[in-house]
Amino acid sequence: MMQSNCIASAYILGSSLVVNQMQRIMNNAGLMIDIKSRLFADLYQAKEHINEQFKLLTC
């Protein structure tokens, strides 16, 4: 999600190989985002993170 030149993201990835590949993809795209801070155990937690990011944008 991009809004106001901001990016909010949340991931549910079960493999360290996939995590490393996604991190590489982000870096290659010029997005210096630490994916590990956006990893969640389940969909509920991921959605909660995104909702919190929306609240920060609208305050």
User: Rounded mean pLDDT of 25-54?
Assistant: 93
User: Looking at residue 1, what is its pLDDT?
Assistant: 47
Angle at 8 between CA 32 and CA 42, to 5 degrees: 110
User: Rounded mean pLDDT of 53-58?
Assistant: 81
Nearest residue to 40 via CA among 52, 58, 28, 57 = 52
pTM, two decimals, is 0.74
pLDDT digits (tens, 9 = 90+) for 36-46: 999 999 999 99
**Is the per-residue pLDDT at 2 higher than 60?**
no
Domain residue spans in the chain? 2-58
